[in-house]
Amino acid sequence: MTVVRIDHIGIAVSSIADALKLYRDVLGLKVAAVETVTEQKVKVAMLPIGDSRIELLESTDSESPIARHIEKRGEGIHHLALGVQDIGETLRMLKKKGVPLIDNEPRRGAGGSKMAFLHPKGTKVLLEVVEH
């Protein structure tokens, strides 16, 4: 497994439009893309910052993981995403080493990426691995 960078930090928000008042209008970050990832019931706004990004996550369904996160913990950091070269090999290696996974196989992520989550009971934080 080769981690190549911090790909993004995912922030759960109730409203991307409201969150952009800070990230775009005050901090001056540019919005590179906004898309809906139907499979994950989320609307995503990507804001590049250096070689990484801030990913604003707004739920599109009251039963989505982001909606449940906000209901339980409030708005804020949801996950840290690590960019990897080969997500399939990464997941196999993590499983072999006993790291608990939420996703045993990659799913489609924002921007056509492949992604998978590791379980926070083994990592102490929700980690995502992502391959572009």
Query: What pLDDT is attached to residue 67?
Result: 98
Smallest CA-to-CA distance from 110 within 51, 61, 41 is with: 41
Q: 89-105: per-residue pLDDT in tens?
A: 999 999 999 999 999 99
CB 89 within 8 A of CB 106: no
Residue 31 has pLDDT above 80, yes or no: yes
Query: What pLDDT is attached to residue 130?
Result: 98
Q: 1-13: per-residue pLDDT in tens?
A: 789 999 999 999 9
DSSP-assigned states of every residue in 39-103:
GGTEEEEEEEETTEEEEEEEESSTTSHHHHHHHHH-SEEEEEEEEES-HHHHHHHHHHTT--BS-
How is residue 75 written in tokens?
Answer: 């708005």
Smallest CA-to-CA distance from 16 within 68, 52, 63, 70 is with: 70
Confidence tier at 128 by pLDDT (50, 70, 90) = very high
Query: What pLDDT is attached to residue 59?
Result: 98
Q: 36-84: per-residue pLDDT in tens?
A: 999 999 999 999 999 999 999 999 999 999 999 999 999 999 999 999 9
Residue 23 has pLDDT above 90, yes or no: yes
Amino acid at 29: L
**pTM (2 d.p.):** 0.94
Query: What pLDDT is attached to residue 75?
Result: 98
Cβ neighbours around 105 below 10 Å, total:
10
Domains and CATH numbers, the chain: 3-131 (3.10.180.10)
Contacts of 46 (CB under 8 A, 6+ apart): 8, 31, 32, 33, 34, 53, 54, 55, 110, 111
Query: What pLDDT is attached to residue 2?
Result: 83
